[in-house]
Amino acid sequence: MHGPTSPGWLLVALCAATGVYCLLRMRSTVEDQRRSAGGEAVMGFGMAAMAVPAAVFTPPVWAWSAYGAVFGATALHSLWSARTSPHHLHHLVGAAAMVYMSVVMAVSPVAPGSHHHGGAGVPPLTGALLLYFAGYVLLSGVRLVPAGTVAGSVARGGTGWGDRPELARACRLSMGIATVAMLLTL
């Protein structure tokens, strides 16, 4: 992605850590959580690869097509999975956003901002994706705030740390934040 090197590496670290955690969540005993975690792991690692600063490593032109193909396949899988769970619609939007960013980067790998068509401002699709993901980040952040729980009232019992819903939400929140950051650097 285009942009400063330090924030780029922080974005790579955030996305890679999210991908690793999602891989660990795939050990869950709940089938839907495993499937969801697998798609999120692909997104996390793919976003980490895309976020490597261009000043450090400029991928070959064909790499953007490969990213687009991987995220396109992920979008199709999310579309198929949305039949049983509406949560996968968010995965579909996320994968579509990554396909869009891959296309933009393939078209303008050297000249950041050249896709803005003569400085006319933010393209409508970029703006729509920014609004969606900014809203998603705000809503996800609100969902992480505890709603009046009494200290010690939450029983952890036999639940593994990979099955905890608040950690899955934090994972999705971090990927939403990373998507907003990547869209801003287009």
Decide: residue 165, CB within 10 A, 0-12 exposed, 13-18 middle, 19+ buried.
Answer: exposed
Query: CA–CA distance from 156 to each of 26, 28, 122, 159, 167 (Å)?
Result: 19, 15, 46, 6, 13
Mean pLDDT of the chain: 83
- DSSP 3-state helix, strand, coil percentages of the chain (rounded to 5)? 70, 0, 30
Mean pLDDT value of segment 156-178: 77
Cβ–Cβ under 8 Å, residues 95 and 72: yes
Mean pLDDT value of segment 17-26: 91
Binned at pLDDT 50, 70 and 90, residue 115 comes out as: very low
Mean pLDDT value of segment 157-161: 58
Binned at pLDDT 50, 70 and 90, residue 113 comes out as: very low
Mean pLDDT value of segment 108-135: 74
Mean pLDDT value of segment 113-127: 68
Mean pLDDT value of segment 26-35: 79
pTM above 0.85, yes or no: no
Query: CA–CA distance from 64 to each of 16, 44, 88, 168 (Å)?
Result: 19, 16, 24, 28
pLDDT at residue 33, as a whole number: 78
Secondary structure of residue 89 in the 3-state scheme:
helix
pLDDT tens per residue across span 40-65 = 898 999 999 988 888 888 888 889 99
How far apart (Å, rounded) are the C-alpha atoms in residues 88 and 80?
A: 9
